[in-house]
């Protein structure tokens, strides 16, 4: 039998998970890591899977989206979860760690694995040999490799910064003030392969009168902003400027930009408002919406306070808040195949933050999935994709969301669990609660349904790909 071999570039959260999964199944791994010879702008040690900022992996509550993801990772035998449990510090409902212990534990496991060969060197360009390669170089991929990747994806599908707008839960929007409607009543033009239907009511609109606009802009200008790190101090492109920086340019700038009211008469008055905030569907189920053009560097508490001044969003529940970071990622829905390989370069798979997931655990999860998929590719088996109603399925659904024209990174959250993957269970709840299903009940349902499906998935994987080490 020939010896199977893989190359993994980047020993971060994703790369180490992939390496460990594959090596434990008898695959020889060459793992490339450029640190400490060359550091990124944020890493400080030579350890693998270094946590560059917070030491929290978010909630452990199984009725939360991050809790469901961690439960699934643990079921798969995730190295990050095992290490986090060993290095855990007290943090209430969250899983938080002693960062040094966490990285040291992972580094030791990887160093001591007989099938993992570590190469401390920077990879300067995409390898063009026949060795299957997982690229997991993260949000701070070195410059030379970034340029090489962007050449292969096309620069229009490669990003150096993210520009994330807040997402609101539909059930928290006040429709006594907000209304549905597209600008000039236009019907949406859906891409051919989209699962969404064309409609004249894609957007939710929140109208503001002059007093409301003045108050909003004043608070936006006074709102506390996150101080960017040295390497994040950049001039933003016009198209993705933080909303507060746009407001800095003049009191009326937003009324002629993202808050433009033209072509959107309020059905209650028949007249155009002084300004409008538009919300666009974030998922296929249309249960969550993002604030169009509201990428921001305001502090989280300030975002909640200030964005709730928008009429219709007084009680908005924010599923995700806005942010802008230095972040290398690709336009995954366009450049990746379903098996995480570059469409145009079949020997290269992507994993981690570079695929457009956001967060430590999300990056580690895609590392696990890349390991599982690479194993199947090396053994010439069909790709064992996780069920769509699980957290892994939800994250992959995000990376593959071809209906999103403006792809931006996302961490795991309930808006990624699409209703149509839970149709039967939701129907049952509808019968039980008649009018409106309480949010907690729906989240419980998602947690239970995903748990059942994931257990079945793990049993199937155990038969297909048992550990050999």
Cα-only R_g, the chain? 23
Name the H helices within 43-88.
65-75, 79-86
Minimum gap (Å) between residue 110 Cβ and ligand FAD: 12
Helices (H), 57-158: 65-75, 79-86, 99-111, 143-153
Nearest to ligand FAD of 50, 244 (CB atom): 50
User: Could you say which of 105, 329, 360, 373 contacts ligand FAD (CB under 6 A)?
Assistant: 360
Residue listed under structure tokens 């699980």 = 390
Closest CA to 228 of 145, 158, 161: 161
Q: Does 413 bind ligand FAD (CB under 6 A)?
A: no
Q: Which span sits near ligand FAD by CB under 6 A: 26-34, 180-188, 381-389, 399-407?
A: 26-34
> Which CB, 23 or 34, lies closer to ligand FAD?
34
With contacts defined by CB under 6 A, how many residues of the chain interact with ligand FAD? 33
Q: Give the separation between CA 15 and CA 439, rounded to whole angstroms.
A: 36
Among 350, 323, 326, smallest CA distance to 336 is for 350
9 binds ligand FAD (CB under 6 A): yes
State the minimum distance, in angstroms, from the CB of residue 344 to ligand FAD.
Answer: 20
Residues 99 and 106 sit within 8 Å (Cβ to Cβ): no
- CA 220 to chain centroid, in Å, comes to 26
The mark string for 132-161 relative to ligand FAD (x by CB under 6 A, - otherwise) is: ----xxxxxxx--x----------------
Sign of the alpha-carbon torsion through 196, 197, 200, 201: negative
Virtual CA dihedral for 190, 194, 200, 202, nearest 10 degrees?
-110
* Closer Cβ to ligand FAD, 276 or 361, answer by number: 361
363 scored as a contact of ligand FAD (CB under 6 A): yes
Our CB check for ligand FAD shows the closer of 54 and 315 to be 54
Quick one: which of 6, 7, 12, 450 contacts ligand FAD (CB under 6 A)? 12
Q: In the beta sheet, which residues pair with residue 30?
A: 7, 117
Q: Which stretch binds ligand FAD (CB under 6 A): 50-58, 69-77, 191-199, 286-294?
A: 50-58
Name which position in 8, 18, 25, 43 contacts ligand FAD (CB under 6 A). 43
**Residue 33 corresponds to which tokens in the numbers above?**
């890591």
40 near ligand FAD, judged by CB under 6 A: yes
| Candidate ranges 27-35, 241-249, 285-293, 452-460; the one touching ligand FAD (CB under 6 A) | 27-35
Is residue 457 at the binding interface for ligand FAD, with CB under 6 A as the rule?
A: no
State the Cα–Cα distance between residues 138 and 12, nearest whole angstrom.
Answer: 7
Point out which residues pair with 279 in neighbouring strands: 204, 291
Nearest-angstrom CA–CA distance, 102 and 160: 28
Nearer Cβ to ligand FAD (141/150): 141
Q: Is 454 helix (H, G, I), strand (E, B) or coil?
A: helix
Residue nearest to ligand FAD (CB): 12
Residue whose C-alpha is closest to residue 396's, from 436, 340, 446: 340
Q: Which of 20, 33, 203, 331 binds ligand FAD (CB under 6 A)?
A: 33
How far apart CA 126 and CA 330 sit, in angstroms, is 14
In this structure, the number of other CB atoms found within 10 A of the CB of residue 187 comes to 12
Nearest distance from residue 126's CB to ligand FAD, in Å?
10
14 counts as binding ligand FAD under rule CB under 6 A: yes
Single out the segment in contact with ligand FAD by CB under 6 A; choices: 33-41, 60-68, 165-173, 288-296.
Answer: 33-41
Choices 11-19, 100-108, 259-267, 372-380; region in contact with ligand FAD by CB under 6 A: 11-19
Residue numbers 52-81 binding ligand FAD by CB under 6 A: 52-54
The correct pick among 123, 163, 291, 313 for binding ligand FAD (CB under 6 A) is 123
Contact between 274 and 210 (Cβ < 8 Å): yes
- List residues near ligand FAD by CB under 6 A: 9-15, 32-35, 40, 42-43, 52-54, 122-123, 136-142, 145, 352-354, 359-360, 363
């Amino acid at each position: 039998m020939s010896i199977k071999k893989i190359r993994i570039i980047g020993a971060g959260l994703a790369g180490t998970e992939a390496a460990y999964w594959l090596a434990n199944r008898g695959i020889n791994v060459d793992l490339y890591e450029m640190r400490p010879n060359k550091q990124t702008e944020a890493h400080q040690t030579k350890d693998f899977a270094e946590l560059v900022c917070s030491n929290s992996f978010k909630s452990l509550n199984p009725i939360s989206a991050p809790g469901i993801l961690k439960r699934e990772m643990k079921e798969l035998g995730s190295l990050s979860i095992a290490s986090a449990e060993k290095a855990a510090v007290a943090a209430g409902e969250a899983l938080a760690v002693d960062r040094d212990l966490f990285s040291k534990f992972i580094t030791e496991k990887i160093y001591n694995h007989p099938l993992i060969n570590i190469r401390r060197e920077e990879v300067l360009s995409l390898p063009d040999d026949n060795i299957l390669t997982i690229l997991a170089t993260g949000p701070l991929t070195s410059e030379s490799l970034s340029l090489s990747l962007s050449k292969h994806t096309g620069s229009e599908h490669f990003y150096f910064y993210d520009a994330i707008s807040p997402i609101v839960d539909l059930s928290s929007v006040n429709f006594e003030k907000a209304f549905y409607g597209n600008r000039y009543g236009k019907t949406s033009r859906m891409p051919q392969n989209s699962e969404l239907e064309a409609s004249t009511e894609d957007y939710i609109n929140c109208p503001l009168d002059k007093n409301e606009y003045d108050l909003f802009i004043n608070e936006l200008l006074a709102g506390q902003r996150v101080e960017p790190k040295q390497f994040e101090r950049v001039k933003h492109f016009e198209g993705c400027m933080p909303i507060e920086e746009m407001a800095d340019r003049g009191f009326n700038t937003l009324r002629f930009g993202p808050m433009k009211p033209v072509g959107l008469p309020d059905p209650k008055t028949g007249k155009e408002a002084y300004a409008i905030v538009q919300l666009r569907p974030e998922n296929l189920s249309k249960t969550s919406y993002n604030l169009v053009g509201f990428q921001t560097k305001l502090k989280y508490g300030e975002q909640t306070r200030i964005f709730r001044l928008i009429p219709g969003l007084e009680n908005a529940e924010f599923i995700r808040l806005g942010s802008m970071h230095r972040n290398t990622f690709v336009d995954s829905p366009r450049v990746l195949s379903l098996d995480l390989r570059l469409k145009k370069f079949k020997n290269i798979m992507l994993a981690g933050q570079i695929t457009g997931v956001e967060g430590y655990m999300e990056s580690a999860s895609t590392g696990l999935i890349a390991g599982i998929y690479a194993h199947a590719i090396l053994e010439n088996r069909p790709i064992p994709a996780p069920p769509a109603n699980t957290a892994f399925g939800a994250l992959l659904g995000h990376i593959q969301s071809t209906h999103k024209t403006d792809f931006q990174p996302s961490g795991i959250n309930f808006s990624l669990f699409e209703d149509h993957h839970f149709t039967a269970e939701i129907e049952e709840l509808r019968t039980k609660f008649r009018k409106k299903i309480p949010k907690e009940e729906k989240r419980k349902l998602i947690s239970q349904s995903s748990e059942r499906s994931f257990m079945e998935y793990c049993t199937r994987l155990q038969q297909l790909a048992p550990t050999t080490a």
